[in-house]
Structure 1
Amino acid sequence: MVEADRGSLPFALIHGEALVACAVWALGEAGVTPVDFTLPWEAVVEAGQPYVLHDPLCPMTPASFVARCVTEAVARDVVVVAVRPVTDTVKIVADGLVGDTLDRSELVEVTSPIVLPASAVARLDELPSGDFATLAAQLATRFPIHTLEAPAEGRRVADLDDVRVLEALTLG
């Protein structure tokens, strides 16, 4: 569970529960043993298992999707990165001037989880970053990457307004 450098937002409530608790429950329901960054990397490597990074800022990611990501990572021996389509308009800014609009069909937002197969874990001296976008970019320079589109409820929240939107999306 990656909660470092996320401020207090992982402890905000959604459906009456902390975001981090919801994310941990999804891991458990997916059959993944939750660990945090206090576990020494050597112990992770020694376990010889895939390593699942789940972000509490994607608290409603379904356990079935987490399990699918693990299955894909193991079966294909690739790093699996969950993504969501970009829906905002993205502009190029150069020399302080707003320029062309990027084609958002070519863009994705990294969400959660990121799953490293055991073979990738064994080749790393440490986890390069706890920031999911940075980590995905760094891993892509060393390992084959397979992206899977996360369901809408797997979206990342950035603030309390996003939490309220996600809560409304996941009612019922």
Structure 2
Amino acid sequence: MYDESDPVAYGVVVERGRGSLPFALLHGEPLVACAAWAMGETGVHLLDLTTPWDAVREAAMPLVWHDALCPMTPPDFLAACVRRAVADGVAVAGVLAVTDTVKELVDGPDVPMVGDTHDRDGLRRLASPLVVPADVVAELDDWPSTNFRAALAGLRRRHDVALVTAPAAARRVRTPEDLAVLEALTRR
């Protein structure tokens, strides 16, 4: 949770490009509202994507990029990511370990075939948030992409990014089935 000694940051809950799913209900509330409340509990000052980028850059504050499709990311984790980004001067991305079996698809003589199993120990699934320290924000020409993979890739080309293991509740919702799993996982 927010502590008065925590760094002040701006943040955005990204729902663009995600269809209607950010407005589906989780525990009776829209996903986007759940994500916004978590950000509020961290003390992050919420902005929207209509805020002029120059104003964001000139504020010289870290920027928290939170995905509405990761609505139950705990406020404590969001705050820890902000603290890490500020303390270490690196962008921080919340990730989850890959637990599924990952197989290679190879060309067969007539049809594709299942090949080798990949070692999943080094694989991570992007969750939320993506926190950009103020000095990195100052170098960006515009808002990061609303596609978290593209935003992360863009940052990694020019800056150090720390991948931080997120709690299971930070999992991304892609389908109504994922929503049911997240609701069961986070039921109080």
**TM-score (normalizing by structure 1):** 0.96
Which of 125, 132, 135 is 1:109 aligned to? 125
DSSP-derived class of the 2:64 partner: strand
Equivalent residue letter for 2:152? A
Deviation at 1:94, TM superposition (A): 3.3
Aligned residue for 1:36? 48
Unaligned runs of 5+ in 1: none
Aligned to 1:141: 157
Q: Equivalent residue for 1:12?
A: 24
- What is the match of residue 3 of structure 2? none
Q: Which has the larger radius of gyration?
A: 2
Identity of aligned residues (%): 55
Structure 1: distance between partners of 2:83 and 2:144: 23
More strand per residue: 2
Contiguous gaps of at least 5 residues in structure 2? 1-12
Give CA deviations for 1:110-159 in whole Å, capped at 9, x if unaligned: 11000000011001101342111221122111101111111010111101
Q: How many angstroms apart in 2 are the aligned matches of 1:66 and 1:165?
A: 21
SS of aligned partner of 1:38: coil
Q: CA deviation at 1:92?
A: 1.8
- Aligned ranges 1:1-172 → 2 under 5 Å: 1-95=13-107, 96-172=112-188
Question: How far did residue 56 of structure 1 move?
Answer: 0.7
Q: Hey, what's the Cα distance between the residues in 2 that align with 1:7 and 1:64?
A: 28
Q: How many residues align?
A: 172
**Moved >6 Å (runs of 4+):** none
Tell me the SS of whatever aligns to 1:54. strand
Distance in 1 of aligned mates of 2:177 and 2:30: 15
Moved more, 48-57 or 133-142: 133-142
Write the deviation string for residues 27-49 of structure 1: whole angstroms up to 9, x where unpaired.
00001011122212111101110
Offset at 1:170? Answer: 0.6
Question: Within 2, Cα distance between the matches of 1:51 and 1:128?
Answer: 10
Range that drifts further, 135-144 or 7-16: 135-144
